[in-house]
Amino acid sequence: MKLGIPKETLGGERRVATTPEVAKKLVGKGFEVLLEPGAGVAAHYTDDDYAAVGVQLAERAACFEADIVLKVRRPGDDEAAALRAGAIYISLLESCGDDPLVARMLEKGVRVMGMERMPRISRAQSMDALSSQSNIAGYRAVIEAASQYGRFFPMMMTSAGSAKPARLVVLGAGVAGLQAIATARRLGADVYAYDVRPETKEQIQSLGAKPIELDLGESGAGEGGYAKELSDEAKARQQELLAKELAKAHVIITTALIPCRPAPELITADVVQRMREGSVIVDLAAANGGNCKLTRPDQVVVEHGVTIVGHTNYPSMVPADASAFYAKNLSNLLEIMVDQTEAGPVLKDLAEDEITKAMLVQA
């Protein structure tokens, strides 16, 4: 069974769908792994690294003609067209609702599996790419904030004087938010956090942060551990009550997202104007409209003396580890997709397993 690993072509994307360490295990299990030359270079994995563990360097077209094609990001039109009928395509699809590109792939006879469709069950945790990549995003967002902030994060006491710790607020206590809290605490910041889901309070406190509690008159807890969209009345009250806390912050990391919905606006232009000169906002929801009114996707802007960071691909800023995590997610997924036989891996019926069934896009 052939696995195709083409090079990612989306601008700024440095990750790769497998690493030499993971590829070695796949080859050992009987997979024939085809990799486009240069696919891992941006993530600091050389062609020689792959060749040394039995990976075959192959033309791009050959990678897309494999039995299973593994990618990080959504396919382009040319990539979708290069897939053969009967093949399985796996990546983050980055789509909601009707998707004409995916529809064309299905019409062609390609079986499409979206990594973001992974069910939130304990059996699937080792395959959950959204969580693995969100962890990295939360970490890298704090590093970005620290580099943009012109002051210390921790309290510093020296013979020349002392500096108070930065007051850092994390909005959203999902995977990215919790990692942001942990990273900011390790750097010595005074951390506060807010989430619309009441059950996150204990998690926030366990990491040494102080929960911000607001009475909105309703809960934001949704299905599968995700947040749900609040009513218009609750949104207005949330903005009003949050404004006082946010205006006091030196650094704000926003991670609030609702699946397949625009990001909730939590930081108004008025709040930005009230923040201290030199403060920083890192908006992890920039690709979905942003949690801050003044965020500009893929730009770093200064408004009212506040630096607002709108990067949209933080995992790609840590490409080696992000690729390693993603590659292991895929490897664990492949484990449940095939039976190991003397003749090599044999594909199972993907509709029989609750994980692969949930990941399959239906026509």
Structure tokens at 286: 């920039």
Residue 223 included in any domain: yes
Report if residue 124 sits inside a domain.
no
Strands 190-194 and 167-171: parallel
237 and 170: one domain?
yes
Query: Annotated catalytic residue: which of 131, 148, 179, 316?
Result: 131
Helix (H, G, I), strand (E, B), or coil: what is residue 122? helix
Q: Return the C-alpha torsion angle 170, 172, 177, 180, nearest 10.
A: -10
Pair (88, 229) in one structural domain: no
pLDDT at 221: 59
Work out how many domains the chain is built from and give that number: 2
Helical spans, DSSP H, in the chain: 20-28, 47-51, 60-64, 77-82, 100-107, 129-148, 175-186, 201-206, 232-247, 269-274, 319-337, 354-359
For residue 217, give the 3-state DSSP assignment.
coil
Alpha-carbon Rg for the chain in angstroms = 22
pLDDT, one tens digit per residue, over 16-69 is 999 999 999 999 999 999 999 999 999 999 999 999 999 999 999 999 999 999
Confidence of residue 223 (pLDDT cuts 50, 70, 90): low
Q: Is residue 20 part of a domain?
A: yes
Residue 70 lies in a domain: yes
Owner of token pair 């494999």 = 66
Q: Are residues 162 and 299 in the same domain?
A: yes
Q: Hey, what are 211's tokens?
A: 């929960």
Specify whether 216 is located in the same domain as 143: yes
Choosing from 47, 49, 99, 226, the catalytic residue is: 226
Q: How many CB atoms lie within 10 A of CB 127?
A: 23
Task: Examine residue 174 and state whether it is found in any structural domain, yes or no.
Answer: yes
- 61, 193: one domain: no
Q: Which two tokens stand for residue 68?
A: 């299973």
Active site residue 122: no
Q: Are residues 156 and 183 in the same domain?
A: yes
Find, among 352, 337, 361, the residue nearest to 127 by Cα: 337
Report yes or no: 295 and 141 within 8 Å, Cβ to Cβ.
no
298 has catalytic annotation = no
| Residues in the chain, total | 363
Cβ 50 vs Cβ 23: under 8 Å: yes
From 74, 117, 120, 167, the catalytic residue: 120
**324-336 tens-digit pLDDT:** 999 999 999 999 9
Q: Say how many C-beta atoms besides its own lie within 10 A of residue 98's C-beta.
A: 7
What pLDDT, on a 0 to 100 scale, did the predictor assign at position 363? 78
Cα separation, 339 vs 132, whole angstroms: 26
Domain CATH number, residue 338: 3.40.50.720
**141 and 210 co-located in one domain:** yes
Name the token pair of 291. 């949690």
Decide if 128 is catalytic: yes
Whether residue 337 contacts residue 323, with contact meaning beta carbons closer than 8 Å, is answered with no
Q: Does one domain contain both 170 and 260? A: yes
Whether 94 is in a domain gets the answer yes
Cβ distance 177 to 134 under 8 Å?
Answer: no
Give the residue numbers spanning the domain of 100.
Answer: 2-117+319-351
Based on the fold, state whether residues 200 and 228 are members of the same structural domain. Answer: yes
In this prediction, residue 261 carries a pLDDT of 87
Claim to verify: residue 269 and residue 178 sit in the same structural domain:
yes
Q: Which of 128, 190, 195, 283 is catalytic?
A: 128
Residue 357 lies in a domain: no
Considering the candidates 77, 78, 125, 205, report the single residue annotated as catalytic: 125
pLDDT tens per residue, range 294-317: 999 999 999 999 999 999 999 999
Domain check: are 81 and 147 in the same one? no
- Same domain membership, residue 305 and residue 202: yes
Residue 79 lies in a domain: yes
What are residue 123's phi and psi, to 5 degrees? -65, -25
